Amino acid sequence: MFKMLLPKLRVDTVFDINLEELYAQGYRGIITDLDNTLVGAKAPDATPELIEWFARVKEVGFKLMIVSNNNLNRVSLFATPLDIQFVHSARKPSNVPFRKAMRMMELTPEKTIVVGDQMLTDVYGGNRLGLYTVLVLPISIGDEGFMTRFNRRVERIALSSLRKKGLWLEEEKKK
C-alpha cells in the first residue's frame, strides 16, 4: 500500500535536481509544489537563488507550473511576478490539478516531473498518474498548517513500514 508513496528521486532541495539529466531522459515539464518545496510556507517571495533556478529550468528547456493546495491569493502573489503559471486550491493528491497542469503545458505524464515536499500529496498524486516524482526535504516545518502536520504524522508511519520492508534506504537520497 505504501509503495505509491515512494518517489523516483529524493534530494535535499530543488537545487539538487539534475535538470540536464532529466531533460536528456525526455522530460519536458515540471510541476512543482510551492510551500515548503520552493520557499517556506510563510515566505511571500522567491529568494534570489530560487529566481536563478527558475531561469535555469527554462534555459534547459522545461515548461514550469506551480500546483499548490494553497489559496489563490497566496499562490498568485508568489507566481505572478515571476511569470509562472499556476493551479491553486489544487486538492492534491487529486488527479485533477495534475491533469490540468499537464494540459496547460501540453504534455503527457511520460514527459512530466512532479516536485514536492509531501509524500501524501505530491508524490502519491504524481505516482497515481505515472509522473516522475521528486521528493525534497521541507524548508520550514515550523510554519506548516494543521493538515500538513497531520500528513507528516501519517508519512512517519508510512516511512517506518517502508524501512522495515527495505524499500526506503537513507543512503538512496542523492546529494
Inside any domain, residue 174: no
pTM attached to this predicted model = 0.85
Question: Residue range 40-53: average pLDDT?
Answer: 94
Say whether pLDDT at 1 is over 60: no
pLDDT at residue 30, rounded to an integer: 98
Residue 150 C-alpha cell reads as 497531520
The parent domain of residue 52 ranges over 2-165
Inside any domain, residue 106: yes
What's 45's domain CATH number? 3.40.50.1000
Number of domain units in the chain = 1
Say whether pLDDT at 82 is over 60: yes
CA distance 53 to 67: 17
H/E element, 34:
none
Question: pLDDT tens-digit profile of 143-172?
Answer: 667 777 777 676 776 767 777 777 777 655
Inside any domain, residue 171: no
Sheet of 132-136, strands arranged across: 9-11, 132-136, 112-116, 29-32, 63-67, 85-87
Residue pair 116/136 in contact by the 8 Å Cβ criterion: yes
More confident residue, 128 or 5: 128
pLDDT at residue 25, rounded to an integer: 98
CA-nearest of 108, 72, 92 to 32 is 92
Inside any domain, residue 170: no
